[in-house]
Amino acid sequence: MTIRVLSIIGTRPEAIKMAPVIKALAASPAVEGVVCATGQHRQMLDQVLEIFAIRPDHDLDVMQVGHTLNSLASRIFEKIDGLYTKLAPDVVLVHGDTTTAMAAALAAFHKGIAVGHVEAGLRTYDMQRPFPEELNRRAIDLVAKHLYAPTESSRRNLLQEHLVSDRILVTGNTVIDALLQTVERIHGDAALRVRLDKSFEFIDRSRRLLLVTGHRRESFGGGFERICDALARLGQRGDLEIVYPVHLNPNVDTVVRERLGGAKNIHLIAPVDYLSFMYLLDRAEAILTDSGGVQEEAAALGKRVVIMREVTERPEGVEAGLAELVGTDPDLICTAVERALAGAHAQAKLRQIGRTLYGDGQAAMRILGDLAGEAGQRAVKDLAS
């Protein structure tokens, strides 16, 4: 008796974090895994799917330039309703906190289809930070039957909300599954490493590498202007190479390129594929970001992270002394980056602390086991042997 599990992905981070789950489901005889891409992201999503050799079975193609959260959500609701009727999945799996995940989960709830939430329980309890992700993930947890919490702290968040479902399973974050698989692939492939070295030969190896990413809505406008001021100042240091793959969202790309194009020691590049980003993360001495996944990945690699946010739903890294919350004030960003670089030498110790902070690389297997019940447990054993 197999169960049909429909995995929904819309953005780059969802694809990265769902890839290990999609692969585990596909390899299990106990599950019929089906994949639907919504098209919330296009180019950045396709880069990930190619690396993990995942071809979605369905694509809602909802992407429209300049769409609003409401036009995006309404297009997803409209199109996914028909897909649910056609496929009649036993479970719809969504990830994290995007509009894709929220709309897909609520649409499943409307049709009485069980929802599994991967990365359940992340909270800041601030509806404006991150916006709209805090609303999205809390709405999903209200309707989800299977709550896959990445850490104990996310499990505690769920327990105090007295949700309908009591099926909470601490799995670890699937981003660590993806990271470990990818770093292993890079370390095991000399030709790939040569290609990656060549792709990034513009980075002066005599200088220290600071890797930057940023895309939070709540920083649009003044926030990104302040971030650019901080980066321009850091670029003046002379001992740093700053590499910043600039998110494609026009609210980020336009401001950053206007203010930093041609700035000293700052390389503004297009978003790089996931393999390349893991390569850069592995090479970097410190990370400056507002990303959720990058906080988790950096910790796992023992990298110190400066978080350009006011709040984070990843308290573990801050409590472990690996990450520091600084918001978008240029002075605070610059001094925190100095501290991160000063502490970067203790990489072995930091890696020991951060290695399993967010998971052990087995999250996808735990989710498979839970979803397919006994049959899944048997399949998980077969898969793991």
Ligand X SMILES: CC(=O)N[C@@H]1[C@@H](OP(=O)(O)OP(=O)(O)OC[C@H]2O[C@@H](n3ccc(=O)[nH]c3=O)[C@H](O)[C@@H]2O)O[C@H](CO)[C@@H](O)[C@@H]1O
Q: Footprint of ligand X on this chain (CB under 6 A)? A: 11-14, 16-17, 95-98, 101, 119, 122, 130, 133, 175, 213, 215, 245, 271-272, 274, 277, 291-294, 297
- Minimum gap (Å) between residue 374 Cβ and ligand X: 30
Q: Is 134 a residue of the active site? A: no
Give 192 or 375: the residue with its C-beta nearer to ligand X.
192
Give 285 or 296: the residue with its C-beta nearer to ligand X.
296
Which residues are within 8 A (CB) of 162 and not within 5 positions of it... i.e. 6 or more apart? none
Distance CA 40, CA 324 (A): 30
Distance CA 165, CA 146 (A): 7
Give 197 or 382: the residue with its C-beta nearer to ligand X.
197
- Minimum gap (Å) between residue 174 Cβ and ligand X: 9
Q: Is 119 a residue of the active site? A: yes
Give 223 or 376: the residue with its C-beta nearer to ligand X.
223
CA distances from 316 to 174, 196, 323, 359 (A): 16, 31, 9, 11
Dihedral over alpha carbons 352, 356, 362, 363 (to 10 degrees): -160
Catalytic residue among 217, 226, 304, 366: 217
Determine contact, residues 75/62, Cβ cutoff 8 Å: yes
Give the containing element (helix H, strand E) for 70.
Answer: helix 69-87
Catalytic residue among 41, 75, 119, 310: 119
Q: Is 247 a residue of the active site? A: yes
Distance CA 385, CA 5 (A): 23
Q: Is 162 a residue of the active site? A: no
Catalytic residue among 41, 215, 267, 309: 215
- Minimum gap (Å) between residue 51 Cβ and ligand X: 9
Catalytic residue among 75, 123, 216, 247: 247
- Minimum gap (Å) between residue 291 Cβ and ligand X: 3
Using a CB cutoff of 8 Å and minimum separation of 24, what contacts does 309-313 make?
309/129, 309/130, 309/216, 309/218, 309/219, 310/126, 310/129, 310/218, 311/124, 311/126, 311/129, 312/124, 313/122, 313/123, 313/124, 313/130, 313/154
Catalytic residue among 14, 97, 218, 310: 97
Please provide residue 264's backbone torsions phi and psi, each rounded to the nearest 5 degrees. -60, 135
Q: Is 215 a residue of the active site? A: yes
Give 3 or 91: the residue with its C-beta nearer to ligand X.
91
Q: Is 117 a residue of the active site? A: no
Determine contact, residues 43/248, Cβ cutoff 8 Å: yes
- Minimum gap (Å) between residue 165 Cβ and ligand X: 19
Give 31 or 120: the residue with its C-beta nearer to ligand X.
120
- Minimum gap (Å) between residue 317 Cβ and ligand X: 12
Q: Which residues are identified as catalytic? A: 97, 119, 133, 215, 217, 247
